[in-house]
Structure 1
Amino acid sequence: MNDKLYPLKFEPIYQYRLWGGRRLAHLLSKPLPKDEPVGEACLLSDRKDHASKVVDGPLKGKTITELMQKCPVELMGENNAHFKRFPLLLKFLDCHEVLSVQVHPSDDQTAYIPEGDTGKTEAWVVLETADDSIIYSGLKKGTTKEDLLQSIETNSVSEKLHRFIPKIDDAVFIHSGTVHTLGGAVVFEVQENSDVTFRLYDWDRKDPKTGKPRELQVEKAMACIDYNQVEIGPIIPVKSTEVKNAELLFDNEHFKLWRIESDTQVDVGFKDEPVILVCINGKGTMRYENKDYSISKGEVMLLPAIVGQLELHPNSEITVLQIAIPQKNDKS
């Protein structure tokens, strides 16, 4: 692949989900599939079954998988040796109805993770709410394995879960092992690049497409629960010292995420490391090698490591989520 990397935009990949709705049409310019509930738009995905494709420029049509294989150093910088696949998966979720009550394994619970996959720590930023918005995040304090098993039998699982009513801009961190679900909201989700989900409970509903209940994985879910993950609420944003006009929402071993809100020029990206920008509101432009690159509401842009830091010029006011991948040391 001789084409040099540049700021890359990707086409969203829509996914049918029985709990989905039609609200992603407000966020994304790509038309939704007709007449079915769309629960997810994969914004940047390096998965075999759905790999994101570049939408414009010389690399149009290339997948993130191909780029990771052909130019890992230019894309990932010093982190290239630690990742065969792009390590994060980014989505918009339209949770028209409440999702299944679920849990994801941690990276070290390898008995429950298919080969080539990882555990799954994730985080949400709430973009839209409704009258029935709800987030269940963590267990109620003191809940035991026995309590939880009994509640599954009596269809009262929700009584064992901590819950709160989310507001727009709330940011919620869901560490692997946390029992969780949500409904009545549109959220941005960042997570480890993993598809491993174990359903504990699905509200006794049937999938309209099959007429059957969805499969539960109660035994695996129970094995992966961290009973210390209790009463998880929205995080408290911290004013960033390293990114202008930004607050730091998440900072963990898998991802760092800033929310940048600005009506004046602001620097985005970092030297020699990849950064992802997700535009939540407004639009703006960046200049790289004498060419302008625009980003607007609902779009995702990957700044490869070789691109470095750019100046983002908002048209008026812009809100951008900036996501970085923490540097791995050689011991990890």
Structure 2
Amino acid sequence: MAPTALYPLKFDPIYQYRIWGGRRLSNLLLKPLPPDDPIGEAWILSDRDDHPSKVSNGNLQGQTINQLIENSSAELLGKLAGKFKRFPLLLKFLDCQKVLSVQVHPADQLKKYIPKGENGKTEAWVVLQTGKDALIYAGLKPGTTKELIRTDLDAHTVGDDLASFKPTVGDAVLIKAGTVHTLNDVVVFEVQENSDVTYRLYDWDRVDEKTGQPRDLQVEEALACIDFSKTDIKPSIPIKIDEGIDKGHALCEKLLSDEHFKVWRLTSELPFMVGKMATCRILVNIEGDGEIEYNDELYPFKKGEVMLLPASVGSCPFVPKGKVVLLEVALPEG
């Protein structure tokens, strides 16, 4: 039997309990949140064994993204086919109602601190909502040393060693592997390398209400993975793209550019093009409603949804219903 041709693919979010989470993702996503628990994360595109995203529309409904890579790699990934055993990015929405742990992720080259089958973790955020206590901690204060951090761990004052800023909606922040970081009272979109390796340095001396115990720390591993040159990280400056990208009527801004991913923000009330010919791209709708046109079919695309455009789909028209804001994400180019 011939394989099913690929088309614009949608996925349901996978909700995750977190002690620092809240209920604000209900304002962003269509799928109801589980009752009662604080929900900190919605994994909207995940090729993880424990939480695999499954297609929610069309003839391929129910298939995981890993099955698509195994069965239709060339159609899905184009020139990147065969390069990845699993999808290289993990996409999430985070509701950081309370402050996250102070943490760090290893760089790809720190093999000693990366479990088998994993890789390092560079990530980035786009701020979608801020609360009255919103704060982003990104990098250390200049001059901070490993010895100072050890002293402040004993004094429970590690927060004093972190650089921070008050975020505004629309800020885009690149957190390269090795950067100490945390978030408080914000809702963000997150794109990252497909990795789940996190080392907690400090957790603000709190107790998990579900277990009655503090969460585990990995102080020595965290200290070994810190890049002490990553200090005082600020939001990226959006770059308006006027040439070299066919987006028609949309305001196109490059928000983030890294070897692991690129992110553009597309804003328009009029039809425009999304995706790139013969290239796999990911779309995330952060405001508004509209439809993607492909092969004489319409694919509704609402706020909070993610859509994967396989390489075989390429570039497509997007028709907004009023103002829309989309994020378009590119995979590593290899």
- Shorter-normalised TM range: over 0.9
Q: Which residue of 2 aligns with 1:49?
A: 50
Q: Which residue of 1 aligns with 2:330?
A: 324
Q: TM-score, normalised by structure 2?
A: 0.97
Moved more, 281-290 or 136-145: 281-290
In the alignment, structure 1 residue 292 sits paired with structure 2 residue 298: yes
Q: Which amino acid aligns with 1:42?
A: W
Shift of 1:282: 0.5
Deviations 1:163-197 (A, max 9, x none): 11111111111000000000100000000000000
Q: Which amino acid aligns with 1:121?
A: T
Q: Which residue of 2 aligns with 1:276?
A: 282
- Rounded to whole Å, the distance in 2 between the matches of 1:199 and 1:96 is 18
Q: Which residue of 1 aligns with 2:122?
A: 121
Aligned residues: CA RMSD = 0.8
In the alignment, structure 1 residue 71 sits paired with structure 2 residue 72: yes
- Rounded to whole Å, the distance in 2 between the matches of 1:205 and 1:31 is 28
Shift of 1:63: 0.7
Deviations 1:129-155 (A, max 9, x none): 000101100000010110111111101
- Rounded to whole Å, the distance in 2 between the matches of 1:251 and 1:137 is 17
Q: Secondary structure in 1 aligned to 2:82?
A: helix
Shift of 1:111: 0.7
- Rounded to whole Å, the distance in 1 between the matches of 2:154 and 2:282 is 43
Q: Which residue of 2 aligns with 1:17?
A: 18
Q: Secondary structure in 2 aligned to 1:82?
A: coil
Correspondence list, 1:254-265, <5 A:
254-265=260-271
- Rounded to whole Å, the distance in 1 between the matches of 2:20 and 2:219 is 20
Q: Which amino acid aligns with 1:299?
A: E
Count, aligned residues? 328
Q: Secondary structure in 2 aligned to 1:194?
A: coil
In the alignment, structure 1 residue 88 sits paired with structure 2 residue 89: yes
Deviations 1:75-95 (A, max 9, x none): 011111211100000000000
Runs of at least 4 residues off by over 2 Å:
241-244
Q: Which runs of 5+ in 2 are unaligned?
A: none
Q: Which amino acid aligns with 1:254?
A: H
Q: Which amino acid aligns with 2:205?
A: D
Q: TM-score, normalised by structure 1?
A: 0.98
Q: Which amino acid aligns with 2:79?
A: E
Q: Secondary structure in 1 aligned to 2:80?
A: helix
Deviations 1:299-332 (A, max 9, x none): 000000000000111111110000011321xxxx
Shift of 1:64: 0.6
